[in-house]
Structures are given as structure tokens and as C-alpha cells.
Amino acid sequence: MHKLVRYPVYAAALLVGFASLPAAQAQEDQLRIAYIGGTTSIDPHFHSDTSNLAISRAVFDGLVNPDENTRPIPGLAESWEIIDPRTWEFTLREATFHDGMPVTSDDVAFSFERGMDVEDSPSGGFRRVLQDKTVKVVSDRVFRIETEEPAPTLLEDLSNFAIVSRKHSEGATREDFNAGRVTIGTGPYKFVEWIPGDRVVLERFDDYWGEKPDFARVVMRPFESGPTRVAALLSGDVDAIDQVPTTDQAMLRENPDIHVAQTPSKRIMYIHMDSYREETPHVTAHDGSAIDNPLRDNRVRWALALAIDRPSIAEFVMEGAAVPAGQYAPLGMEGASETLEPIPFDPDRAKALLAEAGYPDGFKLTFHSTGQRYPNDVQLAEAISQMWSRIGVDTTLETMPGAVFFRRGSTGGPDGTPEFSVMMAGCCASPGGAITPLNVLMGTRDPDSGRGSANRGRYSNPELDELIGQALTEMDDVKRDAIIQRASEVAVADMAVIPVHFLLNTWASRGDVVWQATLDDTTVPTRATKK
């Protein structure tokens, strides 16, 4: 069984890097952030992981940008109108790239072309949102996006997609972006350098078209360890941190020099199960012998779901910083069903379902999870492992850094298949309601269309696919909401993916730095202001 390693509160050895920055960087208007996870690329079209988006949103702009509640607001596009259900016309604002060149419709057309062709992304990059969309240039500042089917969620889909310069990016590789050779955006910050695993440095773009950031320079440091982030904040080595550990939130609130910002999140912690292989690599009989994959039976999937004591996890493991879930988007968001309650804790029913499915004595599995990628994810996975073991599903836990987990969980198996059988992660930071997790986590995987781009359990349900397809093309808001609600109910009935809980987003800052808490958990440096 995995054992959680507790880090010292003052992990001085891990904080040395802050003190070693060049003296020229120690200026009053510098913002130093310790953020969880690690950026995997500076290429804004590579992977829409929150660590990457934190940089991308600062350096680049989308046609539309998400506000603090993830609603799309004007970005590089100052206005738009729907010509017909398959045609949207956009007008670009007068804005320049960091090299002084104006943004044109041709840059938009190029960005769409490039976004479809980025290789080796663990989630297919932005192919899902760009598929079947064509940019038609009308003039330097006016263009149309034509879609093969009506696209009611077009604005939400594009709110994380960056526009890049054709002049600099045509023919550029991911390494060119990582090295800064072509990292020319239109955003409020200019890219300075990325030292993987150590820091990203940004400088304010004084000719930015929008509101100027309060800080002239930003240094972002990736720290997986929550206690280390807190230690860095308390010691004054950083000005702000994200994903504050639940164990430290009360202490930080009592500190007069610390500001804690918190808001409900739409990010759900969920569990994928291999529902496509006849034999799955990490599930065996108790004696280790091979068995047919029990996860293909929805009675087994429901048994695992019912064995999780969500209220106790929310209270004790998450220390109140989570809301038990029974579907894939919180109530109030589009597609969240009023009929779905949090999944009850019923271990007796779980055992009965295992027996009905032919596993009265249970079986053995290895449970894979991110490690210190989401708040208390290791402790959460440990608790779930123990709960499953109590119903006869003998569970061994393996955790790993997010970058390793997502690569192996997506393509680490034979012939690029998912390596794991049962795995836990979080979704979804992108704007939109329940349709986003339904589409990317549970839609039948289709690399050409981008559907099921993060479907690591390879779940497939024709009824659900039909509803997802209807929702993605229904322009009437009321009808679309009803369709997505029905899709949510179908997915939960079959327990396509186990919902665990919704997180609360928490940041902390010190001194005169104030952080604006947002519905998504992306730590974009422009959310920081001076008092």
C-alpha cells in the first residue's frame, strides 16, 4: 500500500532556487508565484493542461477569453455575430503582437491550421474544438468561422485557444516555442525564459490592448508539494500560491499578512475504469491469476462507486474543501441534472452488486492516481483504496507526478493504449457545462473528431454518443440544456466514469498582493493585483 510522505513545513532545500535568482530580478513590481504541477510546453497548442494554460493565457490571447466565471468575453475579437447556425462572423480589435506586428485574420486562419496538426499531445491538443471548423478571411480584421454542423458552444470552445503569429510560427516546432525563438503572442506578458522544472519568467507587454497588469515581471515556480508552497509563502520567498492544502487554510486565514481567496470550482475528481479490454492489465483474482475484466460490467462499476464514503471524505480528507458529487458538473451549470443526487455510501449494496456480477469474493486491482497534482489527491486515493478493500476489492495504490500519469494513462500501454485499469484525475478546467466532461471523458474515442480525447477508460455508449452529438449542434439554449441533462443521467446510470467530488479553488497571497479567485483553477498571473 502506498504511504504518503509528509514534507517538512519549512523545506528550505527546495526554496533555495528563489534566493538564487539574479539580483536584477529582485524588484518591487515583481510577482513570484509557486504553482502546482509543471508546465509541459510553452507551445500554446500542445496540451490544455492548467499548468500550460497558466502561461498561455498570459502570453497569448484567444479570440474570446474566459472571465472569472469561465464565461466567454471579447478577446482579440472585439465583436461577433451569428450569420446562420453554421456561420459566425468576427471582427478583430486593433491589437499587435509583441514584435509590433498587427494581428490579422490571416493569423487566425493560420492558428486554426496549426492547432489541428500539433503532434504528440497527450489529449489531442485542440483538435476537438477545431475539428470541422474553417476560417474564411474577409479582410484584415474581419473573418468568418464556418462549421459543418451548428456550433452553439463555439465561443466556449475557443476561449482557451491561442492565436499565434504566422510570421513567427509557420514551420515552428514545439521546441522553438519552448526555447522562446517563436514565442510571440499578443497577451499582457511577454515570454522571457522557461527552465523546465525550475521557472517560467514573463515581462509585462506595455503596448497590450487591454488592461495592463500591475506587475512588471512574473516568476512562476512549479512546486508539486503543498507544504513547500505554503512554506515559500510564509517565508516571503513567493508572493502567491495556488491549491492551498486544506490542512493549512485555517492557519493562513489567521495570519494578518496572508490573504486567502476561495471559490467553488467546477473541477470534478473522477475515476476512469477500463471498460473495453477483455482482460485488463491491473486487475486479477486475489491469488494473482488472470480473470476476465470485471470493469466491463456496470454492476461492478456501480459497486466501486457505492463503496466510496463521499461525505466522510469531504469532511475529513478534504477538511470541508470539497462537495460530494453525483454527476459531472455542479448544479447551476448547463447540463447539470436536478434529479441526480450525490452517490450514496452503501457498502452492503456494493457487495451485493459484486456478487450479482459473479464476484462474491471480489478481486484484486491496482489503482493509479496523480500524486500532489490536485488538492489532497494522494490522501483521497488512499481513502478510496481502503474503502474498496473493505468490500472485497483488494486495492494497491500507485501515485505519480501528473506529467507521468497523463502520458502513461493515455498512451503508455501496448500500441499506444492506456496503461492503467482504474485511474483517478480531475476534470475539467475549460469553460462550458456538463457537455465538456461528457464529451472528452465519456464520448467514444475518435481521434479525427477529437471526441473522447481524454477517455482513458475507452468507455463507449451509442446512446450517450447520440445525445452528445445532439447537444453539440443544438442552438436553442433550453433544448440543449435538456439534452445535456439527459446525457448526464444516461452516463451516471451506466456509471461511465465515477464522480467523486467537486473541489473548492483556493489561492493565498501575502503583503499587498491580492488574488482574484476564479471558477476554474488556472493560475493566470493577471489575476493578481496590488492593494
Sign, Cα dihedral of 439, 443, 445, 449:
negative
- The number of residues in the chain equals 531
Give the mean pLDDT of 231-240: 97
Q: How confident is the model at residue 71 (pLDDT cuts 50, 70, 90)?
A: confident
- Can you tell me the distance from the alpha carbon of 495 to that of 348, in angstroms, rounded to the nearest whole number? 18
pLDDT at residue 437, rounded to an integer? 94
pLDDT at residue 121, rounded to an integer? 65
pLDDT at residue 70, rounded to an integer? 80
User: In terms of Cα–Cα distance, which of 179, 154, 68, 169 is closest to 109?
Assistant: 169
User: Do 423 and 295 touch, CB atoms closer than 8 A?
Assistant: no
pLDDT at residue 3, rounded to an integer? 32
Q: Which value, in Å, is the radius of gyration of the alpha carbons in the chain?
A: 23
The set of residues, in sequence order, having a beta carbon less than 8 Å from that of 113 and lying 6+ positions away, is: none
The b/e string for 223-245 (b: 16+ C-beta within 10 A; e otherwise) is bbbbbbbbbbbbeebbbbbbbbb
- 25-222, what's its fold? D-Maltodextrin-Binding Protein; domain 2 (3.40.190)
pLDDT at residue 447, rounded to an integer? 83
In DSSP terms, which residues pair with 370 in a beta bridge? 400
Higher-pLDDT residue of 466, 330:
466
Give the mean pLDDT of 499-524: 93
Give the mean pLDDT of 281-291: 97
Write out the DSSP string of 310-324: HHHIIIIISTT-EEE
- Can you tell me the distance from the alpha carbon of 425 to that of 427, in angstroms, rounded to the nearest whole number? 7
pLDDT at residue 1, rounded to an integer? 35
pLDDT at residue 515, rounded to an integer? 97
Please report, for residues 303, 384, 486, the alpha-carbon distance to residue 344 in angstroms, rounded to integers and kept in the order given. Answer: 11, 14, 20
Give the mean pLDDT of 379-383: 97
Check if 25-222 and 264-504 are the same fold.
Answer: no
Give the mean pLDDT of 119-140: 82
- Can you tell me the distance from the alpha carbon of 405 to that of 422, in angstroms, rounded to the nearest whole number? 12
pLDDT at residue 11, rounded to an integer? 36
Give the E-state strand segments of 274-392 in sequence order.
283-284, 322-324, 363-370
Give the E-state strand segments of 85-185 in sequence order.
87-92, 133-137, 142-147
Which CATH architecture describes the domain 264-504?
Roll (3.10)
pLDDT for 430 beyond 70: no
Give the E-state strand segments of 177-216 in sequence order.
189-195, 199-204
Query: Cell numbers 466567454 correspond to what residue?
Result: 72
pLDDT for 381 beyond 50: yes
Q: How many CA atoms lie within 13 A of 446 on its CB side?
A: 13
Three-class DSSP category at 290? coil
pLDDT at residue 191, rounded to an integer? 98
**Residue 407 burial (C-beta neighbours within 10 Å; 0-12, 13-18, 19+):** middle
Q: Spell out the domain ranges in the chain.
A: 25-222, 264-504
Looking at 139-148, 191-200, 431-440, which range is the least confident one?
431-440
The set of residues, in sequence order, having a beta carbon less than 8 Å from that of 152 and lying 6+ positions away, is: 472, 473, 474, 475, 477, 480
pLDDT at residue 10, rounded to an integer? 31
pLDDT tens across 193-208, in order?
Answer: 999 999 999 999 999 9
pLDDT for 318 beyond 80: yes
User: Do 421 and 280 touch, CB atoms closer than 8 A?
Assistant: yes
Query: Cell numbers 499548468 correspond to what residue?
Result: 51
pLDDT tens across 361-379, in order?
Answer: 999 999 999 998 888 999 9
pLDDT at residue 9, rounded to an integer? 32
pLDDT for 506 beyond 90: yes
pLDDT for 134 beyond 70: yes
Question: Which letter does DSSP use for residue 124 in this model?
Answer: -
User: Do 367 and 397 touch, CB atoms closer than 8 A?
Assistant: yes
Give the mean pLDDT of 180-184: 97
User: In terms of Cα–Cα distance, which of 242, 259, 311, 274 is closest to 54?
Assistant: 242
Angle at 315 between CA 312 and CA 321, to 5 degrees: 130
pLDDT at residue 38, rounded to an integer? 74
Give the mean pLDDT of 223-230: 92
In DSSP terms, which residues pair with 528 in a beta bridge? 515
pLDDT at residue 495, rounded to an integer? 98
- Can you tell me the distance from the alpha carbon of 394 to that of 398, in angstroms, rounded to the nearest whole number? 13
Question: Which letter does DSSP use for residue 205 in this model?
Answer: -
Give the mean pLDDT of 441-461: 91
- Can you tell me the distance from the alpha carbon of 177 to that of 175, in angstroms, rounded to the nearest whole number? 5
Higher-pLDDT residue of 296, 20:
296
